[in-house]
Structure formats: structure tokens, C-alpha cells
Amino acid sequence: MEEKQKDNFKATKRKNVVTEKRRKTTHKSLISKENKEHYKEGYKSRKVQGNKSILDFKFKPSNLKIIALGGLDEIGKNITVFEYEDEIVLVDCGLEFPEDDMLGVDLVIPDVTYLIRNKEKIKGLVITHGHEDHIGSIPYVLQQVNMPIYATRLTAKLIEHKLEEHNLLKTTKIHIVEQGKTINLGKMSVEFLRSSHSIPDAVMLAIHTPVGTVVHTGDFKVDYTPIDGQMMDLGRLAELGNEGVLALLSDSTNAERKGFTLSEKSVGPVFDNLFEGCKKRIVVATFASNVHRVQQIVNSAVKFGRKIAVSGRSMMNMIDAARELNYIDAPDDLFIDIDLIKNYTDSQLVIITTGSQGETMSALTRMANGEHRKITITGNDLIIISANPIPGNEKNVSKVIDKLLKIGAEVVYNTLADVHVSGHACQEEQKLIMALTRPKYFIPVHGEYRQLIAHRDTAMEMGIPRENIFISNNGREIELNQDEAKLGGTVPSGRVMVDGLGVGDVGNVVLRDRQHLSQDGLIVIVMTMNNVTGEIVAGPDVISRGFVYVRESENLMEQVKTFIREEIRELEERHVKDWGIIKSTLKDDVRDFIFDKTKRNPMILPIIMEL
């Protein structure tokens, strides 16, 4: 009996194995040839129907691509592409201010060639906050790629001002999104999370995609006592962490600084101390976008009975927008027109101005140079520079302070009093965001290379494996899914320079020429030649600009003219009549001659006219 049962059991087992093999063969045969490659990328799971267990086939979702077109290995020009299949969501679209060697350049914007090529995929541009390094390039990009914009109230108002200046307001759709709300953009949705920064209405973004949720912090600090009482939504970040965060992109600006960033509220008592008992006129220079700082200046002015006048167009625009949206709480009669300051004594006035970075054309710099049309600095002025110099601006700020002190004004700046706090998170705040979100992958953004490295090290302290941290470059693709993340190919990226109305017509060659001219000057050689004989009919005349003062260097100029005549004579003897050869020969030989005589290397520009 037992042997019979064993035989039945073995037969049943063989039958089940055969049945399973046939079922698998049948399942595979149903897959068309064109889907076989996709099948390899798919996965199988069992599901139960009635009493039967069947194999269910599903395709793997596509990878999410994250591509920074700006903001990596630099401060500013922040713009990031989130691409899933045939859809793109953009985050921020900022500019960068020119470096010292970018002579004559007004602004630097990102290269958006990739967006132009894929403009039909773009579902929308989402903005984290209203600073120039996040919204400044919008008018220039919209001229090439039109797309809807999603932003919070103050940010949207600032964008509207920019678009109005460029005559783009009527052709652009701007959608105002409240903090805490979610917008659907095709296969992706974007959740706006309340954040803290040095400008109201800043948000972090939770970008929900088919492969997982990506959190983008934008610029942030963790301020437990914000001026407007609107605390960062740490609770929602924790919820997202519990639900599972695929990747975290986090602000790296202060990644090298340990500890916490001080609360913006800490500046208020410092202002009160400076205002109290002061009989001088008070001039405060700060960032135009720092509405919370302006609110604290307003609070001190009201407390000590002073009126406020505003100087600087960007500051006026920001304060007007903030007051319109009730982000600045001030009595109606507090602000006065700058033309009316002569009607008040110095002890009754506060002037809020731009120029905290020593910008050449800013209001404070013009005051220091004695060139401001409406404000003259005297020894009865207290100047408060309520900002830290951005790296690279230290020398300009120092020059402005020196000039103000020479006039006799009293100047208070960051090394003398705590009149400024940063709007960016230090290491402990960055750790808090990582602890709340617990991301699988980490991508430091918004910083120079050393800051990205410092942020990577902080992430490793928090237990994120080094292989899950990606320090990328502008234009480099990062491809993500639940199982893996990897660096992909590259797309066009870089800097586009804006000079006046010209966008992109100043490149490296033009900059090199400008630098050459600024360092060594220019010599122009003008002469008229007979196009048949090659003889000089008139000239040569030698014109110098930025090389030597001609009236004091007549001997040198005559030597150059004599040398040119001899060169032309040699070329005639060699029967050289091609103008291109004559110009290039003159250019090279005159450069060598002048270098031997002066050890200088001016730009040589031969101009030959035919007769």
C-alpha cells in the first residue's frame, strides 16, 4: 500500500512539473518578437485567481533622468531637468553674475539647447523661490521655449515684474500654487512644501514620479523662529521619509560650515541696539530680496519713530511687491518718497538701499563716490551694511567701506556686529533633512565643488553609502529607479553671456580679445596700397589706444612706421601681393618688433585700403 502511495505521489509530482513547463512555454510563446527585449527587462510575480496560481508579467518602469543644466560646481544659474519617458519638468531657471574676467558682461544664463530640442516634452517650470539665481533667466529662456510657470504668490509677482520688462507677460501662463498643494504635470506631480529661507514663500519640492519620490530642497535653512511665523513643514518631510524617498537633492551653499545657521530673528535686537539713542541718519544696505530683513528694519524704525525712504530700483520693486501681498507689515505713513528726505531731520530718517555687495552702479556705491543725485553722505550718517560679501565681492565691499569712512560716516558691517545671518543651512540642518527624508540616493546641488564634497561627507556621516551619492556636473544625466542609480550620458550645457541686448553673441573669443585689450592695449596700422604694384601710396599711420601715450612716445611711433615700410619693401621684392599674406606678416612682425622694444604685447590690427 505504501509503495502504491509513493508511486502516485511521484507521478503527480512529474505531472505538475510537466504542466508548469508547458505553462511557461505557452506564456513565452505569447510574447511577440518585438517585445522579447522588453520581456528581458520585465519582471514576473505570482497572483492567485480562484484556486490557481498564475504567473503575471509586468514591464519595468523607465528610468527617471535628473539633469542639472546649471548650479553644480558654481554659485547661481540654478536649473534642473526631471525627465521621465517623454515628459520634462523643470525646476528653477536662474542667472549668475559675471566674474571679474568677464569684461563688459552683464549677466550669465544657462545654455538651454537641450530644452529647445525637447520643448514639446516640457510640462512646466516649477520655481522654489524668488531669488535672482533661481528666476533671473526666465525672460531669456521664455524667448526660446514657451512654457507654463508654477510658483508661490510672492515668487509669481517677482516673475511678473521681469516678464513685463521684457514684454512677455501676455504670452506666459503663470499659475500661483499655495504651499502644501500638489500640481499634476503628466506622469509626474509636484508637491509644494513650506520651507524657510531669506525670502518669503520659499518651498521645497516633492516630485512624485512612477519610480519614486524625489525631494528637492531649493535654498533653505531650518529657522525655528521665522519672522513671518511660517515654520518649515518638517512633519511632511518626515511623512515622505516614512513613505520612502528615492533621492534627495539638497542645497550645499553652507556645507562647509558646522553647526546651525542663526535665526533671522537674531538680527532684530542688533538693529534695535544700533537705532537706540542714535541721533544720526541711518542708512541700511542689504539684499533687495531679503524681505524678512526689511521687516526688521521696519520694526526698529517704527519703534524709534523714524520714517523710511528707499533707494535702488530693485529694492523699490521688491518692497512694493511685498507690501502689496502683505508680506511687510508697516504703517501706511511709514514710507516716504526719497525726494522728501530734506523735510526731515537726520534723527527722523532711515534709508534702505541696495549695494551691499559693492556693485559698481548700485545706490550705496554711488553715495560713497559722491555721485548719488538725491543722497549726500556726511559725517552725521550711520551706514549699516547688513550682508556678508559674496565670494569674489570682498574687494569691492572693502573699497566702498573705505570711501564711506573717508567721508567721515560711521560704518557698521559684519565683522563689527552681527547685522547679518545666512539664509542657507549649515551641516546640522542638512543632517536634519537627511534624517527626516532618509533618501536611498543623495545628490548635493547648488554649490562649488568643495561645497559639494563637504555635503557628500556629511551624507556619509548620516549613513548614506558612498556609492549612493552622486556628485555630478552640469549637463550630466543621472538615471534612477528603485533598483539602481547611475551616471548616464551628457547633454549640451554651459554659460551664455548677456551683454546689453545681445544674448550669446559674446563668447570665449570675444572675452579673450577684451582681456587682451584691457591688459596690453591696441595698435592700429592704417595705409593705402596700389593693388597692382603693391607700393604704399599713403601711410602707414600708427594709432595707439591703451598702449602708449603717442605724444610722449613719438620716437617709438616713428620707429614702428619705419619698420613697417621696410617690411613692405621686402614683400615687394619677394613679389608678394596677396593682402591676406601681407596683413598676417605685418601683424606678426610688428608684434615681435614692439615686444623687443617695450616688452609689451598689444593687439595689432592692420587696415589696408586699395587704390
Whole-number pLDDT of residue 344: 93
In this prediction, residue 518 has a pLDDT band, given cuts at 50, 70 and 90, of low
Confidence label for 223 from pLDDT (cuts 50, 70 and 90): very high
pLDDT per position as a tens digit, 521-541:
777 878 777 666 666 677 677
Domain end among 373, 390, 412: 412
> Is 80 a residue whose pLDDT tops 80?
yes
C-beta separation of 424 from 230 below 8 A: no
Q: How confident is the model at residue 40 (pLDDT cuts 50, 70, 90)?
A: very low
What CATH number corresponds to the domain at position 591?
3.10.20.580
Specify if 542 maps to a domain.
Answer: yes
Same domain as 291, residue 225: no
Q: How many domains is the chain partitioned into structurally?
A: 4
pLDDT in the model for residue 602: 80
Residue 5: pLDDT above 60? no
292, 424, 446, 455: which is the annotated catalytic residue? 424
pLDDT tens-digit map of 558-590: 777 788 777 777 777 777 766 677 777 877 888
Closest CA to 350 of 266, 272, 269, 291: 272
The model's pLDDT over 366-383, given as tens digits with 9 standing for 90+, comes to 999 998 989 999 999 999
Question: Where are the strands (E) in 114-202, listed by range?
Answer: 122-126, 149-151, 174-176, 182-185, 188-194
The pLDDT of residue 13 is above 70: no
Report d(CA 595, CA 563) in Å as an integer. Answer: 13
In this prediction, residue 75 carries a pLDDT of 85
Is the pLDDT score of 35 beyond 70?
Answer: no
Whether residue 254 is found in the same domain as residue 268: no
Residues 378 and 430 in one domain: no
Answer yes or no: 197 catalytic.
Answer: no
Residue 290 belongs to what H/E stretch?
none
Q: Given this model, what pLDDT does residue 34 score?
A: 40
CATH number of the domain where residue 131 is located: 3.60.15.10
Percentage of residues in the chain having pLDDT higher than 70: 82
253 and 287, same domain (yes or no)? no
Structural domain of residue 48, as residue ranges? 2-58
**Residue 251 is a catalytic residue:** yes
What mean pLDDT value characterizes the chain?
84
**pLDDT of 388 over the 50 cut:** yes
What CATH number is attached to the domain comprising 329?
Answer: 3.40.50.10710
Q: Which pTM was predicted?
A: 0.78
In tens, the pLDDT along 241-284 reads 999 999 999 999 999 999 999 999 999 999 999 999 999 999 99
**418, part of any domain:** no
Q: What is the DSSP string of 206-237?
A: EEEETTEEEEE--S----SS-TTS----HHHH
Assess whether 322 and 286 both reside in one domain. Answer: yes
80 located within any domain: yes
| Most confident residue range from 110-114, 121-125, 387-391 | 121-125
Least confident span in 54-68, 77-91, 311-325: 54-68
Domain shared by 281 and 327, yes or no: yes
What mean pLDDT is predicted for residues 69-73? 91
Domain boundary among 475, 499, 523: 499
Q: For residues 192 and 412, what is the distance between their CA atoms, to the nearest angstrom?
A: 38
Q: Is the pLDDT of residue 31 over 50?
A: no
Choose the most confident range, by mean pLDDT, from 56-60, 516-520, 597-601.
597-601
Q: Which of 251, 381, 420, 455 is flagged as catalytic?
A: 251
Looking at the structure, do residues 351 and 376 belong to the same domain, yes or no? yes
246 and 170 in a common domain: yes
